[in-house]
A and B are shown apart, each in its own frame.
Chain A
């Protein structure tokens, strides 16, 4: 397929294409190295040490960006359960982020509740919202779910914009910051650590889920619904499980965001927010946890790095995405990259009988 495209292109683009191809090969090689358990653990240990040390030396601006990265990682891992594991297309994920943020905001502002107590309630609200949206739609094929979630995302935002309890268009202001065992969490570094912890927890839960009865069932449904049903998998219930669980990740991230920002407004939950999260998941590689984390990093860091060129950065980002989708449609760090499956390919494949 690649050869055909290269054939029509000019010499200039041919060399460029070659470069991209080598780049793809190099990254694949790196990913293979990462699959080695010893290398993986050393890399992760060093990474964790650096991440924990980072706040001691970095500027406020950099910490703000990094906190945002972890926030995105949590959201993307949540959406990855829905999109990557279970293969359901959700276009309104920001709504669950909103549910979490508003639940925490309202409970703290109106009822003076402790932040930590609002977390389980926020998760419960996400479960209820997920059930309300998922139950009628998950019996249908995924396309319908995309439309319904799209509508739900906008409904949530418009409801928040117009209801008195959510503070209408101004939103909620002056949400007090929580204490953690006597420590008042008010510095950006505190939130950096909080979101880092939340991200690590999400990564852990994601990995555990992936390699479990539930995770396998999700993958089967993603591959072939009818066959999964024939294998005794309750397709509707297991899908709903993924949908609700993914929503809880989003709501918890929202709760933490509410106290970090101390103010939330309906404009934080625009459709573009949902799209950005989905984009990060697709960009990184659906279903592959390191890929999704990488996607979240790229989505947050890219606009920051190119801040200097103003509006042009979105144009460049669009071009980069286009190139990526041509050369790497499975994402930056795909689940079972092409090299692995071709290596496993049996010689006998040639005399396939059909």
Chain B
């Protein structure tokens, strides 16, 4: 059984069909990628998976449970965390506060807990802080935990976003173009980090990426979509040699005769 199983998913905005009958499955414990030319519908598909868009047809099964009709926060609670293509940090909060927000759905204290601070609430706060520190340590920004997020360099802001997603304690991590805007060194660190997330934290990783070098390095399986439809899937090797993929990226060879 797949951890995430997408069946004939179709999303329509009026006459436009950003996602058209896409089906595939993501195996537990793997690192898989979604690629495709600009405007192929990758982010739209991601937004369907995480509940930000509501697809009209098909089904999304996460651990065997349909998440099609659920709200984004419910999906996060079930164990699917995401990052955003354009950074969406809580800019005026500290790094620590940013990461602690990820633990919101794993805690339960309400008004009474906040005002009276019973032992259960104190224990919970302590656990939230511990997890936040672990997550910051994991991505390597622990030394910046008291800084205001917007004052961090871009590369570190990306790390904050990854740590924040990890703090929700997911089973599946969806990364939307995690390498966008990173330099070569940072990209190499990202490759390492993605592998560590899978190996050490046992979290399945599914990413959208434009950087082919990075995708080929980390993914065990690659799905290619174009015009909202899946055109290929397989290992890096298989996908690279697939004529339909080459066509989607480079165009058709029409002038062979000349």
A contact set with B: CB distance below 8 Å: 204-205, 208-209, 212-217, 219-220, 223-224, 226-235, 241, 245, 336, 341, 344-346, 348-349, 351-354
Contact = CB atoms under 8 A, between A and B. Distances in A.
A209 B104 contact: no
Given A241-B111, A354-B181, A233 B151 contact: no
A336 B73 contact: no
A351 B90 CA distance: 21
Nearest to A248: B111
A87 B181 CA distance: 31
Q: Which 10 pairs, one residue from A and one from B, show the smallest C-beta to C-beta distance? A: A232-B105, A212-B114, A232-B76, A223-B90, A227-B88, A229-B72, A353-B154, A213-B109, A220-B101, A348-B153
Contacts of B88: 224, 226-227, 230
A241 B50 CA distance: 24
A214 to B, nearest CB: 5
A232 B88 CA distance: 14
B115 interface: yes
Interface residues of B, number: 50
Most buried by B among A208, A212, A230: A230
Contacts of A336: 92, 148
Contact of B153 (A204, A212, A245, A349): A349
Contacts of A220: 90, 93, 97, 101, 104
A349 B113 CA distance: 39
Given A213-B104, A352-B154, A353-B154, A346 B147 contact: yes
A252 to B, nearest CB: 14
Contacts of B181: 353-354
17 contacts: A212-B125, A213-B113, A213-B128, A214-B111, A220-B93, A224-B90, A226-B88, A227-B84, A229-B72, A230-B73, A230-B82, A232-B73, A245-B111, A346-B147, A349-B151, A351-B153, A352-B154
Nearest to A227: B88
For chain A, what secondary structure do more than half of its interface residues adopt (helix, strand, loop), or is it mixed?
helix
A222 B14 CA distance: 32
A346 B90 contact: no
Contacts of B73: 229-235
A81 B97 CA distance: 18
Contact of B107 (A204, A213, A348): A213
B183 interface: yes
Interface in B86-124: 88-93, 97, 100-102, 104-111, 113-115, 117, 121, 124
B115 to A, nearest CB: 5
A233 B81 CA distance: 12
Contacts of A209: 111, 114-115
Contacts of B151: 341, 344-346, 349
Contacts of A214: 109-111, 114
Given A223-B91, A353-B182, A216 B111 contact: no
A208 B182 CA distance: 39
B168 interface: yes
A344 B148 contact: yes
Contacts of B50: 230
A231 B76 contact: yes
Contact of B183 (A226, A235, A241, A353): A353
Nearest to A223: B90
Contacts of A227: 84, 88-90
A216 B99 CA distance: 11
Contacts of B92: 223, 336
Contacts of A353: 153-155, 181-183
A229 B101 CA distance: 10
Nearest to A335: B92
B235 interface: no
Given A226-B88, A344-B148, A216 B104 contact: yes
A237 to B, nearest CB: 9
A231 B102 contact: yes
A354 B52 CA distance: 26
Given A230-B72, A231-B105, A353-B182, A216 B164 contact: no
